[in-house]
Chains A and B, each alone.
Chain A
Amino acid sequence: MNFRRFGISLIAPLLGVVISVAVTSVILVAINANVGDVFSSMIRYGTSPRAMTLILNLATTYFLSALAVAIGFKMNLFNIGVNGQYVLGAVAAGAVAGALTLPKIPSVIITILVAMVVGAAWAGIAAWLKVARGVSEVISTIMLNFIAIAIISYVIVRTSVGHETSLNVRGTKEIAESGMLRGLALLDEGTKIYGFFFISIFIGIAYWFILNRTRFGYDLRATGHSASAARTSGIDARRMTVVTMLLSGAIAGLVGLPYLLGEAASYNLNFPTDWGFTGIAIALLGRNNPVGIAVGALLWAFLDVASGQLILEGIPREITTIMQGLIVIVVVISYEIVRRRQLTTEQTRVAKALEAQGVSA
């Protein structure tokens, strides 16, 4: 690891947090809130055991969503369709898991596979459209999001997959306790850390390994660095597009599972449908790096969870949304500035090093 490069890349996120805290303070002053109290209560509450558990659980969801986006970003493929992929994956997984009566391990494995296959298949449509018809994946995945929502409504409202799980709420049949991954109450006695938290750590490691240690990962990164050079080197761009999109969709298929298997037990029509967009923001924050994404997901989840406490103190919860937005904007801009500076400083550094060796470049 190049520590110098690593150090420089920390500047951007720090700057993002500092500026967003500064701007948020101004807004808080403008609405006559006590700035110190707001931040200290956010931190006090955010570090309480139950809140920390909730943060870890939400961050698990965000982490998976951002990984799905990041794997596409790595080769300049913009999978905006994580939303559609995960809701379909979750419905299918919910329906299958609800019908299963197997011991925990095989049941969970089947549930996970179903979610991944469905997510991948849905992303595969966008991949096929891009490769065979030249349709931009940005457009097709956005459209597929709408179609996915419509399909889900149809399936849950009009087919036998849907049941009325409580008054006015329809969803998939409740998953038996043997099919759930409720997790462990490590921090707080009453709230469990989702079982998927641990699975997602493993997925993060696998993501890193595939990208950095396999030939496929190299091909993917090379395509991201320079599509033309990658093509000249013998990388089949169409195949890469298809495989990457399928992988991205497979990870996206898992996004709903931490919540489905950890808490909800049924995909009902209140299931959130926009975690995919959060994933885009977090992938940008984490610069497509699994550790960066994990940190970004925790930060985002912290702000989300803390907003619940803020609202009790009379501060609109939108304040945390503003902070999240600011962090992303500042971080994206400062990454770009840092990146350009890095290129030129590296060039000067090389020139200097060569001068010191007494040779001319």
Chain B
Amino acid sequence: MLKGVKIASVLAAAALVLAGCGSSGDASASATAPTSSVKVGMAYDQDGKGDGSFNDAAYAGLSKAQTDLGVQIKEVNSGSSATDASREELLTLLAQDGYNPVIAVGFAYSTALGNVAAKFPDTSFAIVDSVVDQPNVGNLVFAAEQGSYLTGVIAASASKSGHIGFIGGMEIDLIKAFEAGYVQGAKSVNPDITIDSKYMGAAGDNTAWNVPDKAKAASAAMIGNGADVIYAAAGGSGLGMFQAVKEAGAGHWAIGVDSDQYTVPALADYKDFILTSMLKRVDVAVYDTIKGVVDGAPLVGIQNFDLSKDGVGYATSNSAVEPYKAAADKAAADIKAGTITVNTK
């Protein structure tokens, strides 16, 4: 009971801080070549940057903070077969070397971050996609189901065949929320739509995020069955979906995830087939966290980045999405207004 009250009050405080950031951010960004004594330590999980989605989105926020706020940065990754002990050591080394804030990207860091945060009470920590109950930790969570609802609306509107697909990474609640929102959004447009859904690995199978071959085969099978729009929430495996859609040719669309994948240089070959991407604004969350520390008001407690905070959304950089924007924006408004509640399961 007490805990609930505490978190609620922290949340309220955080909302205020966040609102403050939003207005003051632009002012400081306009200053030329700002410098700051803040050293940001960023820990990715497993192989880190280069996935073209989640980790790269985190990096985008870090990079923006580097340019706009002049902070120093240090990036590390935990490597494959990391344990809580090795993650904890990595975070400890960062905190020990004076990095503040220390940002852990990914829920795998939960236990490790909890231990380290307790050992370094004067350092600010943040974790993406998880909740760690320590007073000096900001928990950056996202309403991915809301963003996925919008991509579901777009997919169903764009589909000529009435048949769409979903490629998930590991079959865990986090990713199932993407699927749930997507399905609900698609059915809101076309209640009879057929939706194929396939996960790249069972829960616990760490390869699930990095099997583009498997994702390609699964996508190709969906296309063979008549699907003409596919949405992948599968980390590095998503590349395979792009390949399959490109091979299927015009009339088929891919929907990316986390970052605006239309603009990711590594995916330039496929951009013409990327209709939109579900944006999980990890970059916004990371940037806000760093900004909080720079401004002397670190974010703590649960920071829920949902549609109302522009923490999720969809990308419009490909003009092909124009015809569907109206429907998507209306859905977004309804969700914000509370007239639509999006399922997470």
Query: Taking beta carbons and an 8 Å cutoff, which residues of A are in contact with B?
Result: 50-51, 54, 57-58, 87, 149-150, 152-154, 156-157, 164, 166-170, 190, 259, 263-264, 269-275, 278, 304-305, 307-309, 311-312, 317
Taking CB atoms, residues of chain B closer than 8 Å to A304 are: 86
Q: Write the nearest CB–CB distance from A81 to chain B, whole angstroms.
A: 16
Q: Is the CB of B204 within 8 A of A169?
A: no
Chain B: minimal CB distance from A150 (Å) = 5
Chain B proximity of A48: nearest CB distance (Å): 11
Q: Which residues in window 82-114 of B have CB below 8 A to A?
A: 82-86, 89-90, 92-94, 97, 107-108, 110-111
Residues in A neighbouring B85, C-beta threshold 8 A: 54, 57-58, 259, 263
User: Which residues does chain A contribute within 8 Å of B171, judged by CB atoms?
Assistant: 153, 157
Chain B interface, >50% SS class: mixed
Across the interface, do A312 and B132 meet the contact criterion of CB distance under 8 Å?
no
Given contacts A150-B202, A271-B204, A317-B77, contact A54 B89 (CB under 8 A): yes
Q: Which chain B residues in 123-137 approach chain A with CB under 8 Å?
A: 129-132
A-B contact pairs, 21 of them (CB 8 A): A51-B89, A149-B202, A150-B202, A154-B202, A156-B203, A156-B204, A157-B171, A167-B130, A168-B107, A168-B110, A169-B107, A169-B110, A169-B130, A259-B83, A259-B85, A270-B84, A273-B81, A273-B206, A304-B86, A311-B77, A312-B93
B269 within 8 Å of A by Cβ?
A: no
Q: Which residues of A contact B141 (CB under 8 A)?
A: 167
Give min CB distance, B187 to chain A, whole Å: 24
A168-B86 CB under 8 A given contacts A274-B81, A308-B93: no
- A contact residues around B345 at 8 Å (CB): none
Q: Is the CB of A152 within 8 A of B107?
A: no
Within the complex, which residue of A87, A167, A311 is in contact with B107, where a contact is CB–CB below 8 Å?
A167
* Residue of B whose beta carbon sits closest to that of A317: B79
B241 to chain A, nearest CB (A): 22
Q: Please tell me if the beta carbons of A152 and B204 are within 8 angstroms of each other in the complex.
A: yes
Contact, CB under 8 Å: B203 / A168: no
Also in contact, A305 and B172, with CB within 8 A (given A166-B131, A167-B130, A275-B81) = no
- Interface size of B by Cβ–Cβ distance < 8 Å? 38
User: Residues of B contacting A50 with CB < 8 Å?
Assistant: 89, 92
Distance between B257 CB and nearest chain A CB, rounded to angstroms: 16
The reply on B174 being an interface residue by CB < 8 A is: yes
Q: Which of B84, B111, B173, B205 contacts A168 (CB 8 A)?
A: B173
Interchain CB contact (< 8 A) of B129 among A150, A167, A170? A167
Q: Which residues of A contact B83 (CB under 8 A)?
A: 58, 259, 263-264, 272
Are B172 and A309 in contact (CB-based, < 8 A)? no
User: Contacts A166-B130, A166-B131, A168-B174 given: A272-B202 contact, CB under 8 Å?
Assistant: no
Instruction: Say yes or no for B74: interface residue by CB 8 A criterion.
Output: yes
In chain B, what residue has the closest Cβ to A153?
A: B202
Nearest-Cβ distance from residue B93 to partner chain A, whole angstroms: 6
B172 vs chain A, min Cβ distance (A): 7
Task: Kindly list chain A residues whose C-beta atoms are within 8 Å of the C-beta of B330.
Answer: none
Provided the pairs A166-B132, A274-B80, A305-B86 are in contact, do residues A312 and B74 lie with their beta carbons within 8 angstroms?
yes
For A167, give its contact among B76, B81, B89, B131 (CB under 8 Å). Answer: B131
